[in-house]
């Protein structure tokens, strides 16, 4: 028997420590939360993907009364990115979320953003992984008011991942 260890190392930056380009990506993800269609969860998620050509492709969560027909912000963004720019590497994805649930009504909007970052769900990790495996690493920037977690790749969020058959 052999024991193997899986470790995930990530960095946490203050907003001001990010490069101007990364601040722009995070701001775009935050801005996109405004386009979320979330009448059921009232949890508004935005995603912004930096393409290899420097362009930003955006997404937000879109819910449906038939719940499983909904789509997360990350998949909305990466499917849109691949549809607009087939074959182009996706260099980075930024994700942000806010909700007014459990907040006093007068809470300023900025303070409704998650204190700690949210991280993509398993299905979004799997979908993003496919593009990463095909076109190279996608850095992940997870916005939280207390700091932005930065991971080097989607695979670092999905150990022992399934990519080929
Ligand atoms: N959601 C996302 O869009 N991305 C995530 O990373 C987590 C969850 C959405 C799905 C649903 O519309 C709402 O947030 C609550 O789960």
- What's the chain's Rg over C-alpha atoms? 16
Q: Would you say residue 51 lies in a domain?
A: yes
Q: How far does residue 43's CA lie from ligand 1's centre (Å)?
A: 7
The 10s digit of each residue's pLDDT in 107-157 is 999 999 999 999 999 999 999 999 999 999 999 999 999 999 999 999 999
Q: Give the β-pairing of 11-13 and 139-144.
A: unpaired
The 10s digit of each residue's pLDDT in 140-149 is 999 999 999 9
Range of the domain at 85: 11-157
Counting the structural domains of the chain, the total is 1
Q: Would you say residue 130 lies in a domain?
A: yes
Q: How far does residue 130's CA lie from ligand 1's centre (Å)?
A: 20
């Amino acid at each position: 028997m052999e024991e193997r260890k899986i470790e995930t190392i990530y960095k946490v930056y203050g907003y001001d420590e990010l490069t101007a380009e990364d601040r722009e990506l995070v701001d775009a993800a935050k801005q996109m939360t405004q386009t979320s269609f979330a009448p059921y969860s009232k949890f508004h998620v935005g995603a912004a993907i930096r393409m290899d050509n420097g362009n930003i492709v955006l997404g937000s969560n879109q819910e449906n009364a038939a719940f499983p027909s909904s789509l997360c912000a990350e998949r909305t963004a990466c499917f849109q990115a691949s549809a607009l720019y087939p074959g182009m590497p996706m260099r980075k994805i930024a994700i942000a979320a806010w909700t007014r649930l459990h907040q006093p009504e007068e809470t300023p909007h900025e303070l409704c953003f998650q204190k700690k970052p949210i991280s993509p769900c398993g299905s979004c990790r799997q979908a993003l992984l496919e593009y990463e495996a095909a076109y190279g690493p996608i850095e992940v920037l997870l916005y939280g008011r207390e700091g932005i977690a930065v991971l080097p790749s989607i695979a670092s969020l999905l150990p022992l991942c399934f990519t080929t058959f």
